[in-house]
């Protein structure tokens, strides 16, 4: 009987050690989001704000401070352009400002075309799905329009519009505010 209890105690201790060492309870391990597109995390570095930490109404200085200088492409009094490359794919972010210098439109485009103007349909659809899911999480569900060449989903809210679309090898999105901000 003594031998049986000793074996049972060893089994209990071994089981406890294995269970407690393999447990991820307690929140120490962060879950990695799963995306359909390999490019989504590169484009959407943050889900905060209206888009990537930017908010409609932000000043030009605030916007410039939140985006990488190496992606800066061009500017005028009314816009800032940013540009990135992901392999053969090009990503453009066009930011427009009202007369007060506040951000009032965010337009993004990711092109999935190669040098011969062929596009990666699977990659474009995967990225569109992730962008659509992001916008649905922010603005709610809407009916999606789709035909054989073009797909999009739009939101028409009290003070702004938003849309995400897939047109061949181009995925686009925009967020547009109607009026100037009172700052």
Query: What is the domain partition of the chain in residue ranges?
Result: 40-177
Contacts of 31 (CB under 8 A, 6+ apart): none
| Average pLDDT estimate for 141-155 | 93
The count of other CB atoms within 10 Å of the CB of residue 50 is 18
Nearest C-alpha neighbor of 161 from the set 96, 84, 104: 104
Token pair in block for residue 93: 């972010």
Q: Can you give the pLDDT at residue 164? A: 98
> What pLDDT score was predicted for residue 18?
40
Label residue 178 by pLDDT band (50, 70, 90). confident
139/136 Cα distance (integer angstroms): 5
What whole-number distance in Å separates Cα of residue 136 and Cα of residue 121?
Answer: 22
Tell me the CA end-to-end span of the chain in Å, nearest whole number: 82
Indicate if the pLDDT at residue 90 is higher than 90: yes
Question: Using an 8 Å Cβ cutoff, are 51 and 175 in contact?
Answer: yes
What percentage of the chain has pLDDT greater than the value 70? Answer: 80
Distance CA 49, CA 82 (A): 18
* pTM (predicted TM-score): 0.79
Query: Which pLDDT tens digit goes with each residue over 2-35?
Result: 443 344 444 444 443 444 444 445 556 656 678 9
């Amino acid at each position: 009987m003594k031998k049986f209890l000793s074996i049972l105690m060893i089994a209990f201790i071994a089981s406890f050690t294995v269970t407690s060492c393999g447990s991820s309870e307690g929140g120490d391990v962060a879950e990695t989001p799963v995306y359909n597109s390999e490019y989504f995390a590169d484009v959407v570095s943050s889900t905060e704000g209206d888009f990537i930490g930017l908010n409609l109404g932000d000043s030009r200085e605030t916007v410039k401070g939140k985006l990488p200088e190496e992606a800066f492409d061009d500017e005028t009094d009314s816009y800032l352009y940013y540009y990135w490359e992901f392999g053969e794919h090009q990503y453009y972010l066009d930011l427009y400002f009202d007369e007060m210098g506040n951000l009032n439109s965010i337009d993004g485009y990711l092109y999935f075309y190669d040098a011969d103007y062929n596009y990666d349909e699977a990659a474009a659809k995967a990225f569109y799905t992730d962008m659509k899911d992001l916008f649905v999480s922010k603005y709610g569900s809407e009916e999606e329009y789709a035909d054989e060449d073009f797909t999009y989903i739009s939101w028409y809210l009290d003070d702004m519009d938003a849309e995400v679309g897939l047109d061949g090898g181009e995925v686009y999105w925009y967020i547009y505010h109607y009026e100037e901000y009172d700052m």
